Structure 1
Amino acid sequence: MTETLRLPWADLPPATAPREEEGAAPARRPPARRGRRPLSAWPAPAGPLPWQGWHLLVHGADAAMTAFAAEAAGPGLIPWPFDAERVEEDMFALAIGANRPGQERGGLSVEGCRILARQFRAAAEARHARLALRPDGACPLDFNRLVPVPDRILHLGATHPDARAWLMANWGVLEAPAQMAPLPGRKAGRRLPRGHRAVVYGFFTRGGTPAPVVRRMEEHSPQLTFRLTGRPLT
């Protein structure tokens, strides 16, 4: 059973920052099956989507950089509605998948699948509670703070086709970035005018390319310069 069922947060990016060379483009998530809405964070059956590392260089006048940093900081999450009962139901449906022709259940009985679903729900509730405690400035470059997901999209849920389409159009990725942090010692690569400074943010995404959200940053802060560069993970 552990070969096919994975916690949605089990596949995490490396703890170290991406290296300097260019990496391969991330794979796209296959379209969701029709019918029952699956858990939003479950990877496709073929395996979890690969992580892609990024560096985002931002530079400009000190005052503009200070204003941008204050505006960009946030908890670093997409505040999707959380339905614990639906999580348990979806997990049970996934575990009991042997009712489909040719599908193995991994040796679990129906009651075993129910127990697994309840355990998964408890783990999901605990994780949701931990994330809710994240301070407002935990992420120095919060995509949702700079390009907020509208309430009408949030109410749809993370797996709704319209919500996914909005994220791809406005962010270029389907999830909030992971391990967003400024990289000490990184510079603009050229001498900046007096009174200017640069910051390089390192982070990871999967299932897309965050170029759209960077373009929105450029539109919102035309006095700053942004440069996004992909980095390999190894």
Structure 2
Amino acid sequence: MTPAPDPDWLYHHFEAAGAEAELARFRAAAAGSGLVPWQLDLPRLQEDWLHLMLSAPPQTRGISLEGARILAEQLREAVAAQQERARSLIGQSTACPLDLHALFPVPPEILALGPDHPEARSWLWREWGTPRPLRHVREARSTGGALRLRFWSADWSPWQALLRLRQRFPTLRFTLRPVYEEGG
């Protein structure tokens, strides 16, 4: 499994507008941790990191074999702790006001593949319209009848999620506008 290339991040303005009761229902459904609890192959990652650190000739790499082993193990432990923290926040945190995983959860069989697996990336494109969770989702100047958000999405607008939102909340009006000016 090869890592996915680094995505291009696109800034967006998003608005959900309508009756306050339905908007409150949307807010409750959309709020989540902003994280996806992927299952990572930690032994494989540890081995990959070890090989990466040892790929340079010994005289130029700046780390011994034993040092590389220790560091790869520490990286594995740090990622495992980070993954456990992410899992503990799912269903508990509402820090992200537009969490695609809270709205349209990644199924367990896809989570088991990991975020860089071709089938997982295909599922995200098909279901969300973007290959990664939204980043830096922030509320901006919302009023009683509208929720306005700003966020970054990977490679494309989350257009599939928007289509699904319109079906799930038919009385709300959703608008999504990418911002191409430098810096959003």
Same fold (TM over 0.5): yes
Q: Within 5 Å, which residues of 2 pair with 1:161-176?
A: 161-176=118-133
What are the Cα deviations for residues 49-75 of structure 1, in whole angstroms up to 9, with x where unaligned? 343221111101111111111111222
* Aligned positions of 1:78-89 closer than 5 A: 78-89=36-47
Deviates more, 1:59-68 or 1:196-205: 196-205
2:23 is the counterpart of 1:52:
no
Task: Tell me the CA shift for residue 206 of structure 1.
Answer: 2.2
Q: Give the deviation of 1:107 after TM superposition.
A: 4.2
Amino acid corresponding to residue 68 of structure 2 in structure 1: C
| Residues 1:157 and 2:114 are matched in the alignment | yes
Structure 2 distance, partners of 1:53, 1:116, is 36
- 2:69 maps to which residue? 114
Report the secondary structure of 1:131's partner residue: helix
Q: Equivalences for 1:190-209 in 2 at 5 Å?
A: 197-209=145-157
| Higher helix fraction (1 or 2) | 2
CA distance in structure 1 between the partners assigned to 2:26 and 2:112 by the alignment:
28
Q: Quick one: distance in 2 between partners of 1:233 and 1:143?
A: 23
CA deviation after TM superposition for structure 1 residue 82, in Å: 3.5
Conservation of the 8 A alpha-carbon contact between 1:171 and 1:213: yes
**Paired residue type of 2:159:** A
1:1-234 → structure 2 map (5 Å cutoff): 37-38=1-2, 44=5, 48-98=6-56, 106-134=61-89, 135-183=92-140, 185-186=141-142, 197-231=145-179, 232-233=182-183
Could you tell which deviates more after superposition, 223-232 or 78-87? 78-87
Structure-2-length-normalised TM-score: 0.82
Aligned mates of 1:49, 1:140 — CA distance in 2:
22
Q: CA deviation at 1:128?
A: 2.2
Change (3 A) 1:126 1:152: closer
After TM superposition, give the deviation of residue 209 of structure 1 in Å. 2.5
Shifted more, 65-74 versus 75-84: the winner is 75-84
Q: Give unpaired runs (5+ residues) of structure 1.
A: 1-36, 100-104, 188-195
- Decide whether the 8 Å contact of 2:31 with 2:96 is kept in 1: yes
Residues 227 and 126 (structure 1), Cα distance of their counterparts in 2 relative to 1, 3 Å cut: same
Change (3 A) 1:154 1:130: closer
Q: CA separation in 2, counterparts of 1:71 and 1:51?
A: 25
In 2, Cα distance between equivalents of 1:213 and 1:90: 34
TM-score with structure 1 setting the length: 0.66
Instruction: Quote how far apart the aligned CAs of 1:175 are.
Output: 1.5
5+ residue gaps, structure 2, are none
- Report the CA distance shift for 1:112/1:216 in structure 2 as closer, same or farther (over 3 A): same
1:168–1:208 contact (8 Å) kept in structure 2: no
User: More displaced, 123-132 or 213-222?
Assistant: 123-132
